[in-house]
A and B are shown apart, each in its own frame.
Chain A
Amino acid sequence: MDFTFTDDQLAFRDSVGSMLENEVTTASIRERWTGDSGENGDMLNMLNEMGMNSLLVPESCGGLGMDLVDFVLLADACGKAALPESIVEDAVVAGGLLSDLLASGQHTDQVQELLGGVAAGDIRVGCAHIINPYSNFAHRKDWMLLANGNDVHLVPKSDLKFTALKSVDPSRRLQKVDWAPSRKTRVAEGEVGAGLQRATLNRGALAAAAQLLGLAQAMVQQAVDYSATREQFGKAIGTNQAVKHLMADCAVQIEFAKPVVYRAAYTVGVAPQRADWAVSHAKTAAGSAAELSARNATQVHGAMGYTWECDLHIWVKRAWALAKEWGDAGFHKNRIHEWLLQPNALLGPEFTFGKRYIDHSDSAAA
């Protein structure tokens, strides 16, 4: 039993984190809001140079062959920075699905080539899922992985039609994607396709959860800083117990959500047949920590936090969107109680962390 990260994992997180801290200024985020593409090309290059694209790509395809436990801290760092680019979804969700396709032996040549292109930063692949009606930055991708019933399709940009939709978060560029499924584009079907889509949902929800953790921490930090400088009644507002408690409540939720998210990342890799409830727990815990942090951080800022000029809403609105993406709290809580209340639920201590937790596939997963 060991919840700690390795020195390598922490070092990777630190270097990505400090790059983001330096490069993703709030001024540069606001620039993206008015830009055509909504992306910053230099940032995409830097992320690629740091290995973010290739992290989950198998070594056989020129990637780093790492796993979600390696990625979870990076996603947290991206959330902290409120990074607009969709690197986390691209790498974890699309990259993960491509790797799954390769492992399941479907359309190996084409998939291998794409993975190689992704790792090299030459090709961008995105992914949509039935649970999200719209896909962020889909129009910037060369290929999209799309679902049709149980089937999974891999569709080139030329066969896609995009309709841009506006998000409450100006950093997001949502697209409605219209396309026609054909045998030519189908890369998985039936049981296999359904399994892949389920794994995709779990990776998407996990990626969102990890970013929500980062968002929550950043919002609390901003409010804590503000509470030390803003004075009312002749003293810093942060000296008031009521203000301290607003922040302390967030810290408790955030810290208690962390191991849940880490555990989910681990479970997705090690015991994917049991990932549903672990991921649902993670998404719920991180989502509610982020929503509380958004609310309380705004409260601490007073009227200032209600302005467009104050940077806080960059994070607040991202949290709003991500808390609902890849399944909202209702969806994930339903998955948890369905699993919990099933007749043969595997609930004993041996299923918490014990060996059987890895060996057993429970009936909810069947």
Chain B
Amino acid sequence: MKLTFSAEDEQFRQEVANWLANNLCGDFEPIRFRGGPGDEHSFVAERKAWEKKLAEGGWTAIGWPKEYGGRGCSIEQQVIFNEEYARAGGPGRMGHIGETLVGPTLIAYGTGEQKEKYLPGIRAGKDLWCQGYSEPSAGSDLANVKTKAQFDEASKQWLLNGQKVWTSLAHESQFCFVVARTDPASTGQKGLGFFLVDMDQPGVTIRPIPQLTGTAEFNEVFFDDAVCSAGDIVGAPGDGWRVAMALLGFERGVSTLGQQMLFQSELDDIVKIAKENGAANDPSIRQRLADAHIGLRIMRYNSMRMMSGGEDGSLQKEAMIYKLYWASWHRNLGKLAMDVLGPESELLTDAPYELNRLQSLFLFTRADTIYGGTNQIQRNLIAERALGMPREPRGTV
């Protein structure tokens, strides 16, 4: 156990801070503190440009090994980067799905060809990715995906047919990783494949789904003979579930660091408003602010502990508790934010339906307990997989 930063680490911190001070300014000034959860729709073009700027400075994919274009940063340095990024008001990252999910998955499971083909685009802040897991009948029961992938011997490529839904940022992405059934006779976790699909082709149709926030961050994605070359399946046909789950493991890893810094800045906002509008004089609000602070610290220590092991994305017990913990914490923070605002919480900033940052937070945190595995499913996982309790009976399909 060693819970301090070294002298080199502190030097690294200075380097990050300096770079951000010199670059997150000018044209990029307006995007500071923007584009976080619930605010993904804002400044999209500017934030895409920012991704490229980060890449030029060598600040994308900093945790990837150097041989893949990363910076090979230690966990400590990644922590520091995320801290400084948040402090500087770095905008919500557009490239995070590629950088924190696709990249590590390809590094662990991809072929040399796949790494060569996809990692540089992610690293350059150029290629954005989306996640094609959920379908109308495959939500919590992800293994129930019905999208079919058939290998076409004539053209030597895969043909995809089916529908994905709730696909976040599909309309902004070049690529989608898709879980699809390679064995049409199979059911459940067997017979699946994990595909890397180019979104810019006639076989792919994207339709935005308006959310209760008035914006459309997620989409329906239809595949009608969408093509995917023979080399763009990760793992063998039938092995898709394992890859898909490993990717979810990375979701609970380093990518949580940036998230916590964002949480911190939300909490700071709420504390500031509470002081300004007098809500901080209310004893019940004071207690809840303290609870929020405590919860965030617990989360932080736990994820540092969690990351002290496991390179392949496999879920450890500590990792399993994390989604449930942060989602519930964040949901409570959203409620606290509205209670701090009091009656003003009802007012939109603008017509037709422009939410302020804290209102977006409140609504978005209602989804936190749903996407990436609902709270109920997380509890089942903890009980059945971490504690080994008897499995809940399934229905007859």
Name A's B-contacting residues (CB within 8 A): 131-134, 165-170, 172, 174, 231-237, 239-240, 242-243, 246, 291, 295, 298-299, 302-303, 305-310, 313, 316-317, 320-321, 324-325, 328-330, 333-334
Q: B348 contacts A166, CB within 8 Å?
A: yes
Choose among A168, A174, A233, A328 the residue that contacts B394 (Cβ–Cβ < 8 A): A233
Choose among B350, B359, B376 the residue that contacts A242 (Cβ–Cβ < 8 A): B376
For B342, the chain A residues whose CB sits under 8 A away are: 324, 328, 330
For A236, the chain B residues whose CB sits under 8 A away are: 395
Q: A168 contacts B210, CB within 8 Å?
A: no
Q: A308 contacts B212, CB within 8 Å?
A: yes
Choose among A307, A316, A333 the residue that contacts B209 (Cβ–Cβ < 8 A): A307
For B282, the chain A residues whose CB sits under 8 A away are: 330, 334
Q: B397 contacts A234, CB within 8 Å?
A: yes
Minimum CB–CB distance for B5 against chain A, Å: 39
Q: How many interface contacts (CB-CB < 8 Å) are there between A and B?
A: 126
Say yes or no: A316-B212 contact (C-beta < 8 A), given A233-B141, A328-B339, A329-B339. Answer: yes
B310 at the interface (CB under 8 A from A): no
Given A166-B354, A167-B348, A316-B212, 4 further pairs, Cβ under 8 A: A168-B345, A234-B394, A243-B376, A306-B212
The contact size tier of chain B is 35 or more
Considering only residues 373-397 of chain B, those with a C-beta below 8 Å from chain A are 374-376, 379-380, 392, 394-397
For B379, the chain A residues whose CB sits under 8 A away are: 242
Q: Which residue of B lies closest to A325 (CB)?
A: B343
For B371, the chain A residues whose CB sits under 8 A away are: 303
B296 at the interface (CB under 8 A from A): no
Q: Which residue of A lies closest to B369 (CB)?
A: A299
Minimum CB–CB distance for A333 against chain B, Å: 7
Choose among B140, B166, B210 the residue that contacts A233 (Cβ–Cβ < 8 A): B140
Say yes or no: A324-B214 contact (C-beta < 8 A), given A170-B353, A231-B395. Answer: no
B144 at the interface (CB under 8 A from A): yes
Task: Report Cα–Cα, A313/B342, bound state, in Å.
Answer: 20
B21 at the interface (CB under 8 A from A): no
Minimum CB–CB distance for A6 against chain B, Å: 36
B351 at the interface (CB under 8 A from A): yes
B238 at the interface (CB under 8 A from A): no
For B359, the chain A residues whose CB sits under 8 A away are: 168
Q: A330 contacts B285, CB within 8 Å?
A: yes
Counting chain A CB atoms within 10 Å of each CB, the highest count among B343, B366, B375, B392 belongs to B343
Say yes or no: A306-B367 contact (C-beta < 8 A), given A233-B141, A324-B343. Answer: yes
Q: B212 contacts A302, CB within 8 Å?
A: no
23 A-B pairs with C-beta separation under 8 A: A133-B343, A134-B347, A165-B347, A166-B347, A167-B346, A170-B353, A234-B395, A236-B395, A239-B395, A242-B379, A246-B376, A298-B366, A299-B376, A302-B370, A303-B139, A305-B370, A307-B212, A316-B212, A325-B346, A328-B342, A330-B285, A330-B339, A334-B282
Nearest first, the 8 A-B pairs at minimum CB distance are A235-B395, A234-B395, A166-B348, A308-B210, A242-B376, A234-B397, A313-B212, A232-B141
